[in-house]
Amino acid sequence: MATWLITGCSTGLGRALAQTVLAQGHNAVVTARDVTAVQDITADFTDTALALPLDVTDKAQIRSAVQQAQERFGGIDVLVNNAGYGYRSAVEEADDGDIRQLFDTNFFGAVDLIKAVLPDMRAKRAGSILNISSIGARISPAGSGYYAATKAALEGLSGSLYKELEPLGIHVTAIEPGAFRTDFAGRSLTQSSTPIPDYAETAGKRRKEHDTVHGTQPGDPVKAAEAIISVVESPNPPSLLVLGEDAFGAFAAVADHQRAELDAWRELSVSTGIDA
């Protein structure tokens, strides 16, 4: 039995993961900004579940949640940084306050949680950290530059963290989901307040009022939750996991394009060395 701390459990992947973790007999610290939104998840698991309020931009709440988890279950074995939301805007359109709030939630909230759980994980020389990224970090769609940037930052951090913690027995995996049948493209999606007409045919096409994807996404959140648990239970978990057939295909297409472009510009790339 492992103890999981999962952020952003009120809806979507976080909710499905919390339910699946508990159903499989593990302990779970189930968190959301509004704790009443997750109490139905924990109601039937009085011995193995702990519902806590957690806004990942609030460092005091982070410290309190980690401390309560340690007091209740003796420690945290698995941290899942899932809390986050989407933001659509052309780069030029975005409000400065919106950008900073997005990074505070999607990136710095994860950083603060990682730093909060690591002392105990290092002491035990064991643990798993899973950072929920997005295929958006790979494909960088027009209109999602800032969201993609938060996830690319999280992946860059995860890559370095993987190398720092592997010798200490702690596993780190960044997870890139594709489109899953959650509320991400609904309630959890925000956008710039004032669109610029010049971007109507690029970023503008992805604004919420033009979105036709919500409710038709191909991914099953429960299957994603099961896949995440299997990663944690693997003796050799990957540093990066792609979830969803759509994400797998998009990742492969980007990798092929990048390789072709790298090769096309090889001569110029390698021409910059100091002559002997």
CA atoms within 13 A on the CB side of 261: 6
The pLDDT of 154-181, averaged and rounded, is 95
Q: Would you place residue 223 in the very low, low, confident or very high pLDDT band (cuts 50, 70, 90)?
A: very high
Listed residue (225, 226, 218) closest to 244, CA to CA: 218
CA distance 89 to 143: 5
Token code pair at residue 196: 């610029």
Report which of 160, 180, 48 is spatially closest to residue 114, judged by C-alpha positions.
160
The model's pTM: 0.93
Q: Domains in the chain and their CATH numbers?
A: 3-271 (3.40.50.720)
Q: Is the pLDDT of residue 218 over 90?
A: no
Handedness of CA 118, 11, 17, 246 (dihedral sign): negative
> Which of 10, 89, 128, 133 does the annotation list as catalytic?
133
Q: Is 85 a catalytic residue?
A: no
> Is pLDDT of 182 > 80?
no
State both tokens at 52: 């806590």
pLDDT at residue 36 tops 80: yes
Determine the Cα–Cα distance for residues 63 and 46; give it in Å rounded to an integer: 23
The verdict on whether 151 is a catalytic residue reads yes
Catalytic: 147? Answer: yes
In the numeric block, the tokens 């007091």 are attached to 71
Catalytic residue from among 134, 144, 146, 151:
151
Alpha carbon 268 to its chain centroid, in Å, reads 36
pLDDT computed for residue 137 by the predictor: 96
Q: How confident is the model at residue 210 (pLDDT cuts 50, 70, 90)?
A: low
* pLDDT at residue number 208: 75
